Amino acid sequence: MEQQYFSDHTPANEDDLRLLTFTARGHDLQMWVSDKVFSGSRLDLGTRQLLAEAPEPPASGRFLDLGCGWGPIAVTLACESPDAEIWAVDVNTRAMDLTIRNAAVNGGANIHVIPAPDALEKARAEGTRFDLIWSNPPVRVGKEAMHAMLTDWLSLLAEDGRAYLVVQRNLGADSLIAWLNEQGFPSAKIASKKGYRIIEVKARR
């Protein structure tokens, strides 16, 4: 079976590693990538649009990169807000390993990489609330699984917190906005570019 980026998988060797250089929100970054994780050869267009269009993050607070992959969102947030506490969460152990490496390479000492199930359990047990969530959610896991994931994590937004999601228009961005509003999360499109919607989500009312 072809290995999917959203599965829990660690390859036996590191021969596939390569170093990628790019600029995000004015920060020149060098990051290790692998073809065993999502967008393993470049910064994908959706994440690029999110990094370009999302509003300036707060200077401090508790942030979440949901589905961190190899870490471009978490590392960019760390550069933008070095006083914030950033959780980088994924189910793919290879992705988490790369995020740890990339945090170290780019000075992201405030990034905490946590497996998704453990992170959710920890957040619930400790009453954790997030001031900011940025995510390029894994649409291809299926609607039911993605809806469950978003419900779990968006329910942990602080009262004045915000989430910013990037979703491709032809993969259901507009229907996702409608669904989020139906679930009690005030949501709206704040930007649209190159076929992607940037969605702002507020805490459930």
pTM of the entire predicted model = 0.91
DSSP 37-100: STT-SS--HHHHHHHHHSPPPPSSSEEEEES-TTSHHHHHHHHH-TTSEEEEEES-HHHHHHHH
Contact 37, 69 (CB under 8 A): yes
Q: How far apart are CA 78 and CA 72, in angstroms?
A: 10
* Mean local confidence (pLDDT), 150-166: 98
- How confident is residue 12, by pLDDT bands cut at 50, 70 and 90? very low
Question: Domain limits of the chain?
Answer: 14-202
Give the least confident one: 3-7, 33-37, 75-79, 189-193.
Answer: 3-7
The tokens of 143 are what?
A: 């609607």
Q: Is 183's pLDDT higher than 80?
A: yes
The matching CATH number, chosen from 3.40.190.10, 3.40.50.150, 3.50.50.60, 4.10.490.10, for 14-202 is 3.40.50.150
Decide the pairing of beta strands 111-115 and 130-135. Answer: unpaired
- How confident is residue 39, by pLDDT bands cut at 50, 70 and 90? low
Tell me, rounded to whole angstroms, the distance of Cα 194 from its chain centroid: 19
